[in-house]
Amino acid sequence: MGSRKASVDANNWCNFITTSTDDDIDIDNDGIMSDTRILVDLSQMLSQRLGKQLSMMSTYTVEYISIHLVNVDDGVDNTDAAEFGGRIHWWSPSKHRIDAMQLARQIEGNTEKADIDANSWLISTVPSYRGMRFEWDADGQINSATGEPFGALGGSKWDLAELFSTYADMQVDRMETAANRLWPDRLGYTNQMAFSTSYQNASQGGANYLPRSTPFEFENSKGIDVLGGLLMIDIESSSTDTPSVVDDDYQILVTVGVTGWSDF
């Protein structure tokens, strides 16, 4: 089990990857949150918990997720209430997705054979883990992402979204042109789970003191299989404006329970 408040620090295993410039959020006037996303890196979380390097070339089994709102002590007392909702995204394992990640590892290995520097795979003067580490969809989202040498890709680090999109373009067969196919490409889309979480300090502009927290909780003994150990929490909506002049601020506390993992 791991539990952490989301922050803007990419070295944190639970961090904001878009929009937020602080470690908190507040409601939107019209109830639509724009590009407010949190990335959870299970491999980093478990590496810290267990004291050893966990791989992203793995599938992690997650049986518990909770999302809480937490008051922020920033000089303005929280006097009202707020609700936030959205979807949790993750890639489930499939043959094509695993093949794509293994291809990226092969490319990186071939590049390192010819790239002789301080942390080369063949000889080095600086200790360095060789395991591939992938961003979600852009640079600067996780700790110690692997640099990618493929000039046709955007950014300077490997990320799953672009890797899977590029690999999907390579998978062309007779059924790609079938007019009645129901799938977009061979790698498909992420899995999604809706969530909603709220916190109430008081109601009716503070006239009634009615503290209440309603966190989101997912618990399933069979679990979900998370490829690469990345969960992306997309906060898409909120309750609308309250009578207060200043919106309440909240931190996001994420708890994840992992029961196992398998490498590939």
How high is the pLDDT of residue 198? 97
**The two three-digit tokens of residue 187, written as one number:** 């790698």
**Residues 6 or more apart from 61 whose CB is under 8 A from it?**
223, 224, 225, 226, 258, 259, 260, 261
pLDDT, averaged in runs of 10, over the chain (264 residues) = 93 88 88 94 97 97 98 79 96 97 90 64 69 95 90 88 92 74 88 97 71 95 97 96 76 97 96
How high is the pLDDT of residue 153? 80
How high is the pLDDT of residue 78? 79
200 contacts 210 by C-beta, under 8 angstroms? yes
Question: Global pTM?
Answer: 0.91
B/e letters for 39-56, b = 16+ CB within 10 Å, e = fewer, are bbbbbbbbbeeeeeebbb
250 contacts 71 by C-beta, under 8 angstroms? yes
How high is the pLDDT of residue 57? 98
Q: Which fold has domain 2-91+190-263?
A: Jelly Rolls (2.60.120)
Helix (H) / strand (E) containing 110 = helix 95-114
Domain positions in the chain are 2-91+190-263, 99-177
How high is the pLDDT of residue 4? 97
